[in-house]
Each structure stands twice: as structure tokens, then as C-alpha cells.
């Protein structure tokens, strides 16, 4: 299996969440109300799964290894754009989390911000995923030997194994106030 196989599988789950976000956004437009618990779930998914797990493997394994290669100008431009998109996604998820926190405290004036962030994320991810799936992941595999691909795949599996531990260590730190 290519080391991008798990990344592409993760894309399918992210696409399913985007579909859920679109449905929730439609419900919110009709009711003009948000469900703060559900928004927390969306933010957690985006931050933990899409960003920390998925983008973490891209940035900390695949992109790290690609930076060691003599990339074509096209592939370098795409990789840099993907990194910038990841940063944008983090900021947008952060805006959504902050607006949801305010909404939970009774500030209904932030509802348009919540809906805007959800809409932006729902529009962003399909385009981002298409760029990775169709224009980047497969072509850049030609820079690697079979052994390098195997090592990245193993590192990705190890990365996944520590993910849940990192998440819950962070929850404990926050709860302890440390």
C-alpha cells in the first residue's frame, strides 16, 4: 500500500462530516438557531481528526520527507499552498469554536459567524481534498523509493497510535489548569 492510501481513506471520512455540516447548516438557516453541543462536535472533529490526525501526518511525515527531495516547481507550489490551506482551516475552526463559545453564553448575535465558518469549511474541504487526491498525492509518490514509502506508512501508523493519548492528555491538562 502506498503511504497515501490511509490519507485518502481519511479524506472519505472528512467528506462525510462535510455532508453533515451542510445538513446542519441548512437546519440552522431555517431555524435561525445553533446547537452548541453539535458545533463542539464539529470543531472537535475538524481539530482532532481532520487537522491533528490527517494534516498532522501530511505535514509531519509526507511534507517533511518531500522537503528533502528535489521537487518540481509545480509540486513545491502545490505543497506550499496545501500548508497555507491547513493554516487557514485551523484559523477558521478556531473562529467557529470562539463564536460557539459566545453563542453558548447567550450571545445570539454571533450566529451569522457560526454559519459563515461552517459554510467556509464545507466549501473548503472538498476543494482541498480534490487538490490532494487528484493533483498531488499520486504524482509526488514518484519521488520515493519503495523503502521510503514503507517507512512513511509505518510512521503514519505510529502517529495514529499516539493520537488518542495526546488528545486525552490535553483534556486532563486543561481540566487541571496546567
Q: 18-55 pLDDT, tens per residue? A: 999 999 999 999 999 999 999 999 999 999 999 999 99
**CA atoms within 13 Å, Cβ hemisphere of 102:** 14
Backbone region of residue 172 per phi and psi (left: phi > 0; alpha: psi in -120 to 50; beta: other values): alpha
Domains in the chain: ranges and CATH? 4-170 (1.20.120.520)
Section 134-158 average pLDDT: 94
Q: Is 64 helix (H, G, I), strand (E, B) or coil?
A: helix
Q: State the pTM of this model.
A: 0.89
How many angstroms separate the CA atoms of 170 and 175, rounded? 9
Cα-flanking dihedrals φ and ψ of residue 3, to 5°?
A: -65, -15
pLDDT digits (tens, 9 = 90+) for 149-168: 999 999 999 998 888 788 78
pLDDT digits (tens, 9 = 90+) for 59-107: 999 999 999 999 999 999 999 999 999 999 999 999 999 999 999 999 9
- For 16, counting Cβ atoms within 10 Å of its Cβ (0-12 exposed, 13-18 middle, 19+ buried), the class is exposed
The three cell numbers locating residue 131: 487538490
Helices (H), the chain: 4-31, 36-44, 56-57, 64-66, 73-104, 111-132, 138-140, 146-176
**What is the DSSP secondary structure assignment for residue 142, as one 8-state letter?**
G
How many angstroms separate the CA atoms of 44 and 113, rounded? 18
Helices 111-132 & 36-44 angle (0-180, nearest 10)? 30
pLDDT of residue 3: 67
Question: Which candidate, 53, 69, 66, places its Cα nearest to that of 158?
Answer: 53
Is the pLDDT confidence value at 141 over 80? yes
Q: Is 177 helix (H, G, I), strand (E, B) or coil?
A: coil
Amino acid at each position: 500500500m502506498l503511504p497515501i492510501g490511509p490519507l485518502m481513506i481519511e479524506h472519505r471520512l472528512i467528506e462525510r462530516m462535510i455532508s453533515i455540516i451542510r445538513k446542519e447548516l441548512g437546519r440552522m438557516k431555517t431555524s435561525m438557531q445553533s446547537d452548541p453541543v453539535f458545533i463542539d462536535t464539529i470543531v472537535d472533529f475538524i481539530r482532532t481528526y481532520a487537522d491533528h490526525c490527517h494534516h498532522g501526518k501530511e505535514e509531519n511525515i509526507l511534507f517533511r520527507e518531500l522537503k528533502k527531495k528535489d521537487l518540481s516547481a509545480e509540486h513545491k507550489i502545490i505543497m506550499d499552498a496545501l500548508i497555507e490551506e491547513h493554516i487557514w482551516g485551523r484559523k477558521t475552526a478556531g473562529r467557529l469554536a470562539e463564536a460557539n463559545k459566545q453563542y453558548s453564553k447567550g450571545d445570539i448575535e454571533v450566529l451569522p459567524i457560526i454559519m459563515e465558518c461552517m459554510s467556509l469549511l464545507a466549501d473548503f474541504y472538498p476543494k482541498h481534498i480534490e487538490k490532494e487526491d487528484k493533483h498531488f498525492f499520486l504524482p509526488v509518490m514518484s519521488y520515493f523509493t519503495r523503502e521510503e514509502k514503507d517507512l512513511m506508512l509505518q510512521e503514519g501508523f505510529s502517529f495514529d497510535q499516539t493520537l488518542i493519548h495526546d488528545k486525552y492528555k490535553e483534556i486532563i491538562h486543561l481540566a487541571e489548569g496546567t
